[in-house]
Every structure is written in C-alpha cells, then in structure tokens.
Amino acid sequence: MKMTFRWYGPDDPVTLDNIRQIPGMTGVVTAVYSVPVGEVWPEEEILKLKAQVEAKGLEMEVIESVPVHEDIKLRRGNYQQYIENYKENIRRLAKAGVKCICYNFMPVFDWTRSQLDRELPDGSNALVYYKEHVAQMDPTKLALPGWDSSYSTEEMAELIQAYKDLGEEGLWENLAYFINEIMPTAIEFDVNMGIHPDDPPWSIFGIPRIITCEENIDRFLGLYDDKHHGLTLCSGSLGCATFNNYAEMVKKYAAMGRIHFAHVRNVKILEDGSFEESAHYSPCGSLDIVEILKAYHDAGFEGYLRPDHGRMIWGETGKPGYGLYDRALGAMYMTGIWETLDKLDK
C-alpha cells in the first residue's frame, strides 16, 4: 500500500511542505486544473507539476482526475474528438511517470451534498447529505466545488433533460463505447484506469447513475477483460448506502487485482438514509475502517490509498472536505492500522 494525499496544485492552501511532514506519505494525487474539460493537457504543465512535487521528495504517480466531457457521456457533439484528446492525455501522463488515472462517469454532477459546513456536535464542520434538503434543491442553480460552473441555468436544464432521455441503458452503452476506445491506449502505456463510484450511489434529480453497487461494478468490469481496466474504490461513496457491504466488495475486487486506487473515509448513516461525513476513526461513523483495511491487507493490496474527505477542525478553513488536519489524522490512523496488520502477519 502506498499512502497518498490529494493536492490541488500550487493554489491549494495545503502545501507540499505540509503534506511531506505526514509520516508514511509517499506522494500526492493531483491534476492540471487550468485546462478546460475535454482538452489536451500541455506537456510542459504536466512536467512542471511533476517537478514541483518531486522537489519536495514526493511522487506524482496518480492523477485525480482526467475529467470525462459530457459530450462523451452523452455520445453527442464532438465526443469522438474528446475521446482522442483523452487518449492523448493518457499518453502524456504515462510519459511523465503516471501509473494510475482516476476518473468518473457521473452525469452532470461529480458529487452532491446538501451542505458543506454542517457543524457537528464536537464543533467541527463537515460535508453532509440530507435527503430532505436535496429534494428541495433546484439542480439548475446548484454550484459546488469541483463542478463545471460554465453552464447557464438554461444549459444545465437541457443537459439534465438529455440524461433523463438517455436513461441508464443508454449511459451504459456510452460508457462501454468510451472504455473500448481508451483501454488499448492505457494498456499500451501501462496505465491503470480506475473509475470512481457515483457519489452518492443512487439517482439524484432523476438523472441516471450506474456505478453504484456490486452488481453494476461486476457489469462494468465485464466491459473490458484486462486488469488495467479497474476501480477507484471509495468507502465514502459506496459505503453510504446500506445496500452495499463495502468490506466484502474490497475483498472481492482486491483479490481480482482490479482495485488500483483506494479512497478511505468514514460516514455516519442516519435513519432516513442521509449521511454525514465523520472522522476516520471507526466509532465516529458507520464504517469499520479496521475491517476495511484488513480486507485490503489480506488481499496483498499494493496500490495507492488516500485519506478521503476530512472535517474542518481546530479552526481551519479552506476547500470543503480537503483541509490538512483531519486528513492528516486519518492518514496516521490508517498507517497505524496497516503497521499493526503487517506485524501481526510476522
């Protein structure tokens, strides 16, 4: 297992100097954020980013993410050119030493929360998803960090309707087309492609979502028979649904060698199926982090892992879910669990 940390580039208030001081941290997970979705990343920007990371003694072997343009997901407009651009990004990243690319196929919204700074009983602030509040939202007017904010209200309404018209099976067909287009390039350049599950793993605003459960992940992996075609398995996404047994999914897919990147965070599931993001420590949420890491460890997992979203604690402000302190605590908690598992094996 290689412990990594999400870093949003030079403008991130969490610096590389901060990250490298976390014991056991091997590298960062990052991206070129200045290029519009669908376009080719300039080689000089990739290499500049790599040089900044390596100058601090860290690795840049994982990119999260290379976004998939909506035209590809809908298979309309300039989708074929965007796919060619995507292949070129795989080539360029591979030449820069990148070994794993995280991406998702979520329509319109990469992730959804009803509040970014909900105050928890201990005084910390966290991302939350309250179903009652989401049901009252107008999706054409939403804006959350990381989303594409270039759409007008009218364009957003049209995009949402296009996905409703496409439906789940149409989205599966378009995903299969995309996978069959890009995987030969990924295999040629030895880059592992890890799809991120839908977050949360159910339909929102009537828009189809398909990377949601074990049955659908099995179908996804069946789209292309090669180990480079795999998963970014996220405990916070899949684990917030009571219909998923996340630890069992780790055992299954890690044994198959199809988990390339692991996101680990804890969530507290509420009675109505809503959830709050919590501290990584198991008793703080609904997931057993020790059980999850043991599943990875027992499978001999050698891929990349990162502490996923953290709360804002100790007065810290910054990008919601991506402060330094709570994620660093999570990294050390998981590193300690892993060290213990290593020693128990001896």
pLDDT per position in the chain (346 positions), as tens? 999 999 999 999 999 999 999 999 999 999 999 999 999 999 999 999 999 999 999 999 999 999 999 999 999 999 999 999 999 999 999 999 999 999 999 998 888 899 999 999 999 999 999 999 999 888 887 766 555 566 778 888 899 999 999 999 999 999 999 999 999 999 999 999 999 999 999 998 999 999 999 999 999 999 999 999 999 999 999 999 999 999 999 999 999 999 999 999 999 999 999 999 999 999 999 999 999 999 999 999 999 999 999 999 999 999 999 999 999 999 999 999 999 999 998 7
Q: What is the DSSP string of 270-294?
A: -TTS-EEEE-SSGGGSSS-HHHHHH
Task: Establish whether 309 is a catalytic residue.
Answer: yes
To the query of whether residue 260 is one of the catalytic residues in this protein, the response is no
Catalytic one of 129, 163, 196, 229: 196
**Bridging pattern class, strands 125-129 and 115-119:** antiparallel
Q: Is 218 a catalytic residue?
A: no
How many whole angstroms separate alpha carbon 225 and alpha carbon 237? 25
Other C-beta atoms lying within 10 Å of the C-beta of residue 315: 7
308, 325, 326, 333: which one is catalytic? Answer: 308
In CATH, what number does 2-345 get?
A: 3.20.20.150
125 near 118, Cβ under 8 Å? yes
For the question of whether the overall pTM of this predicted structure is more than 0.85, the answer is yes
296 is a catalytic site residue: no
Q: Distance between CA atoms of 294 and 337, rounded to whole angstroms?
A: 8
Q: Ramachandran region of residue 97, left (φ > 0), alpha (ψ -120 to 50) or beta?
A: left
Q: Which residue type does 340 have? A: T
263 in catalytic set: yes
What are the distances in angstroms from CA 288 to CA 93, 245, 252, 295?
35, 11, 17, 11
pLDDT of res. 143 = 65
**Axis-axis angle for helices 79-95, 43-54 (nearest 10):** 40
